[in-house]
Amino acid sequence: MQHLTVRPAVASEQKALEAVQWRASLNNPGDREHLLANPDAIELPLAQLEAGGVFVAEVTGSIKGFAAILSREDGDAELDALFVEPRAWRQGVGRALVDHCFSAATASGATSLHVVGNPHAEAFYISCGFRTVGTQQTRFGVGLLMKRGLP
Ligand SMILES: CC(C)(COP(=O)(O)OP(=O)(O)OC[C@H]1O[C@@H](n2cnc3c(N)ncnc32)[C@H](O)[C@@H]1OP(=O)(O)O)[C@@H](O)C(=O)NCCC(=O)NCCS
């Protein structure tokens, strides 16, 4: 995708980014019913935006996706959210967001970026340099514990 840039999100984008999350999640066949039954699962807290760990991918001012990282107690970072506009899927937006998050995390001292991945996204995460290290029960099923960085 041409002219894709990734930048920190601003608090005023909260609703627009939650809307991206809705559109992306509803396009996952396995997640659709869970989300429609549990709409509270879609939330991007203002505090998270204000803390500076949310990043937006855009092309000439048009938002294509966003990602969020959080610090972990072990000093590493957690990829807490990653959502791309369905119309922009398979154009490198997700990979650009992951790479940006990994750079931001390692610049802050983390040695690895972790994610609890939805099984349908495993091939994507592996393509982005993650490896699967376990599983974890989540609210909507089994998630894959995945990690990119030092062992
Ligand atoms: C998962 C998601 C973030 C991927 O974003 P994307 O912008 O489409 O991903 P990219 O274009 O950067 O893909 C990079 C590579 O990952 C792999 N990949 C991406 N989507 C894939 C899919 N559906 N199936 C298999 N491989 C896939 C491919 O190797 C791809 O490279 P290629 O297109 O050159 O073959 C996006 O589909 C999405 O927002 N899904 C809904 C929300 C979600 O599931 N988020 C993750 C929750 S854990």
The CATH number that applies at residue 44 is: 3.40.630.30
63 found inside a domain:
yes
24 found inside a domain:
yes
Q: For the chain, give the mean pLDDT.
A: 95
42 found inside a domain:
yes
121 found inside a domain:
no
d(CA 53, CA 26): 24
Contact 75, 110 (CB under 8 A): yes
Q: Which of 28-42, 55-69, 94-108, 120-134 has the lowest mean pLDDT?
A: 28-42
pTM for this model (two decimals): 0.96
The position carrying tokens 């940006």 is 100
* SS3 call for 3: coil
d(CA 86, CA 121): 14
54 found inside a domain:
yes
Which atom of ligand 1 lies at the shortest distance from residue 24's CA? 41
119 found inside a domain:
no
Answer whether residue 86 shows pLDDT above 90: yes
Question: According to the model, what pLDDT value does residue 41 have?
Answer: 87
Answer whether residue 151 shows pLDDT above 80: no
**Exposed e or buried b for every residue in 32-46, given b needs 16+ CB within 10 A?**
eeebeeeeeeeebee
Which H or E run includes 80?
strand 77-84
Show the tokens assigned to 84: 């791309």
Q: Which amino acid is at 18?
A: E
Question: According to the model, what pLDDT value does residue 42 have?
Answer: 92
Q: Name the domain count of the chain.
A: 1
Among 127, 138, 142, name the best residue to mutate to test ligand 1's pocket (greatest count of ligand atoms within 8 A of Cβ): 127
Answer whether residue 140 shows pLDDT above 90: no
Which atom of ligand 1 lies at the shortest distance from residue 117's CA? 48
Determine the structural domain holding residue 49 and report its residue range.
4-114
Question: According to the model, what pLDDT value does residue 28 have?
Answer: 85
Whose alpha carbon is nearest atom 19 of ligand 1?
Answer: 124
Answer whether residue 76 shows pLDDT above 90: yes
Ligand 1 centroid–CA 83 distance in Å is: 9
Question: According to the model, what pLDDT value does residue 70 have?
Answer: 97
149 found inside a domain:
no
Question: According to the model, what pLDDT value does residue 29 have?
Answer: 77
Which H or E run includes 71?
strand 62-71
Whose alpha carbon is nearest atom 31 of ligand 1?
Answer: 90
Alpha helical stretches, state H, the chain: 14-26, 29-37, 46-51, 93-107, 122-127
151 found inside a domain:
no
